[in-house]
Structure 1
Amino acid sequence: MTGSTVTTEFKTGDLVLCKVGSFPPWPAIVFPQRLLRNDVYKKRKLNCVAVCFFNDPTYYWEQPHRLRPLNKTIINQFLKEGYKNVTQKDLIEAYKQASKYSNLKRFIKSRFTDENRINDLTVEESNNGSIIAGEDPFLGKKGDGRNLKVTAVAQRSKRRKSTHAYDKDDDDESDDTDSAEPIIDGDTTSINKKKHDHYNIEKSNKVHTKLDRSRRIEICLLFRRRIQKNLIQRDTPPTQDEIKESHKLLNKMHDNLDNDPPFFDVESLKHSKIYKLLKVIVNNDDLEEFHPICKDILNKWSSLIQQIKLEKNANEKSDQRKPGVDKQVGISTNTRS
């Protein structure tokens, strides 16, 4: 390979641009693997680092050579001129949040708060000291035997940089690590536009069964993750079974919109952020067959969504009024659309 090279020696806390499928490069942070949730960490790839996106609640495993360094100059240039050619408001907001980023610990604290595991961070700092940037991004959780192999992978990555060459066929790990694997979200893909009427809401004649309200947050998270995995988190078109399952899940959600007491409430929507996923689907022309039911659900949730926005605005104003406290860079959870 000739010409300019791109560094692969990223450290935790570094700003990067991560390209996911058909999405434009998205501002992200190289995230310490030891601080990942268990459901994220179990997807670990030995030659990948974990990144955490701005203005999005998701993580992504990516090989370092596919990431691009992001600095204040690039961010400012985008916010000054580049945004004029961008139709995705969420991407613009992501760059705005990246422009305010200054501290990895604050970023992580905000993310842990969003994920309702702030106590885990307290325990982590008690056992291992304060969170600092600049760590090895390949280093996993303590006791993970794969950490020994990671060292060799990182060294091989550096050798590729020094020789200005990268050949997937020469990578002895290529069989199971060539393609990065999304954790919760990923890119949209071209969906077969053939209609799958067998699960359309208009034709659902099944007996409606109520969902367990005591587990509503957990169930909402499961709904979101399954639908995202089927329709959004992909590099290849979904299978017929995945499309059918998505219709069934959306129908199940629709069937429980009018429960008394309500199954879907402010807390379940705020924690799962499933309404943002439905907005992504509605804004994707390739997912047209899902638009009617998603729009109907969003319409039913309109007052709840408005309440979430009002609470968020009130909290932000309250933070701004606190004397002597720097405004925390929040991790907005808008899903890329």
Structure 2
Amino acid sequence: MTNNSDLKTGDLVLCKVGSFPPWPAVVFPQRYLRNDVYKKRKAARVAVCFFNDPTYYWEQPQKLKRLTSEVIHDYFKEKKTNASLPDLIAAYKEAKNFTNLNDFITAKFSEEGRLDELLEESIPQGEDPFLSKGHQRSKKNNGKQGDSTDGTFDYSNNSTSTNESSRKKRKLKSDESSENEKNLDTQVSSSEKNTNAIETTKNKNSTKKKRAKLDSSRNIEICMLFRRKIQKNLIQRDTAPSNQELEETHNLLTKIEENLYNNPNFFDINALRQSKLHKLLKVIVNDSNLSEFHEVSKRILLSWTNTIHQLKLEKIAEHKEIQEI
């Protein structure tokens, strides 16, 4: 086990949850957590993000065990004993290949479809894992931005976090991200204003609606947005969805169905591999409380049958490769 004072963001640990075996995870900085995860924060606990698993967990530091290269090595030496747990083996493999917190968080944001929220160019590790979203790195004395002269970070809320040039650069990047979000929302919006091109006939007394295709050059990005919005509306919540959220989800699923047979294929294997949109639809189909979305979800999944089968074959091949390590 480890002491509170020893644990820093970016540290690799083993976290035990319920009946599951201890699982490889990384200590995650709170300011980068999704809002739904952050709302569940508990006193005297740090956030960890599991490898080969999309979930987070709040745990007391003293209950976490450090995951060193020696521990990983010993685990793979016993691979025959652990052969029945391919997901856990894959998690250890990801932990073994872990390079730094910056790359890990960037990949996590991409997987969760929120790269537009990642405004920092470089994410440091080795910070205090108890710091909340409200704390920001700031200048101290004459040290570099975010650093003090003794090499430690200063998180004072009262000090200036960036100079004028940095603020302008950050604002510009934020504006660009907001513009990207607007563009994507335009792509997936179901309103007639955004999804139909209206052609005025010569007599101007009738109009013809033409369905606008999604931009295939941004299919992965848009699929990630589909997943993030639907997941937020229906799955990642503690209360029942509002009527507005239900309506938005119906519109999003309709938009997906309208673009199933585009040429080129919008929902190709790369888009599904990255977004895992098909897995989200399976969760919806298996939830009796979401029965109003079952039929359209089943139709979409049926059209993706061959692609989903290819992804399963990839997974099987990956598991075989892991077992041969």
TM-score range, shorter chain: 0.5 to 0.7
Spell out, residue by residue over 1:303-325, the C-alpha distance to the aligned partner (whole angstroms, 9 max, x if none).
1112222234445545666xxxx
Aligned 8 A contact 2:12 2:95 in 1: no
Matched to 2:212, the amino acid is T
Tell me by how many angstroms 1:28 deviates. Answer: 6.5
More deviation, 282-291/27-36: 27-36
Matches within 5 A, 1:116-265: 136-138=128-130, 142-143=137-138, 147-148=155-156, 208-265=211-268
1:4 aligned partner: none
SS at 2:262 equivalent: coil
Structure with larger RCO (C-alpha < 8 A, sep 6+): 1
Matches within 5 A, 1:1-337: 12-17=11-16, 29-33=25-29, 40=34, 49-58=46-55, 60=56, 64=59, 69=64, 103=96, 105=98, 115=110, 136-138=128-130, 142-143=137-138, 147-148=155-156, 208-317=211-320, 327=325
Matched to 1:13, the amino acid is L
Matched to 2:283, the amino acid is V
Aligned 8 A contact 1:54 1:98 in 2: yes
Aligned 8 A contact 1:27 1:95 in 2: yes
Distance 1:251 1:67 in 2: 48
Unmatched segments (≥5 aa) in structure 2: 68-84, 139-145, 147-152, 158-208
Aligned 8 A contact 1:27 1:98 in 2: yes
Tell me by how many angstroms 1:293 deviates. Answer: 1.1
SS at 1:252 equivalent: helix
Matched to 2:295, the amino acid is P
Return closer, same or farther for 1:265/1:113 CA change in 2, 3 Å cut-off: same
Aligned 8 A contact 2:28 2:49 in 1: no
Distance 1:288 1:42 in 2: 24
Return closer, same or farther for 1:54/1:285 CA change in 2, 3 Å cut-off: farther
Unmatched segments (≥5 aa) in structure 1: 1-6, 73-91, 150-205, 322-326, 328-337
Spell out, residue by residue over 1:218-269, the C-alpha distance to the aligned partner (whole angstroms, 9 max, x if none).
1100000000000000011111111111111011101100111111101111
Distance 2:22 2:238 in 1: 16
Return closer, same or farther for 1:306/1:138 CA change in 2, 3 Å cut-off: same
Distance 1:25 1:318 in 2: 22
Distance 1:54 1:320 in 2: 17
Tell me by how many angstroms 1:295 deviates. Answer: 1.2
SS at 2:289 equivalent: helix
Tell me by how many angstroms 1:70 deviates. Answer: 7.7
Aligned residues with identical type, % of pairs: 40
Return closer, same or farther for 1:315/1:284 CA change in 2, 3 Å cut-off: same
Return closer, same or farther for 1:301/1:101 CA change in 2, 3 Å cut-off: closer
Tell me by how many angstroms 1:273 deviates. Answer: 1.1
Aligned 8 A contact 1:13 1:104 in 2: no
SS at 1:105 equivalent: coil
Return closer, same or farther for 1:241/1:8 CA change in 2, 3 Å cut-off: farther
Return closer, same or farther for 1:318/1:16 CA change in 2, 3 Å cut-off: closer
Tell me by how many angstroms 1:290 deviates. Answer: 1.1
Distance 1:63 1:320 in 2: 31
Return closer, same or farther for 1:290/1:215 CA change in 2, 3 Å cut-off: same
Return closer, same or farther for 1:71/1:99 CA change in 2, 3 Å cut-off: farther
Distance 1:236 1:28 in 2: 30
TM-score scaled by length of structure 2 = 0.52
Distance 1:251 1:222 in 2: 15
Return closer, same or farther for 1:298/1:320 CA change in 2, 3 Å cut-off: same
SS at 2:12 equivalent: coil
Tell me by how many angstroms 1:30 deviates. Answer: 4.2
Matched to 1:16, the amino acid is C
Tell me by how many angstroms 1:101 deviates. Answer: 8.0
Distance 1:44 1:301 in 2: 34
SS at 2:213 equivalent: coil
Aligned 8 A contact 1:18 1:68 in 2: no
Distance 1:256 1:265 in 2: 11
Aligned 8 A contact 1:31 1:137 in 2: yes
Return closer, same or farther for 1:104/1:221 CA change in 2, 3 Å cut-off: same
Return closer, same or farther for 1:260/1:298 CA change in 2, 3 Å cut-off: same
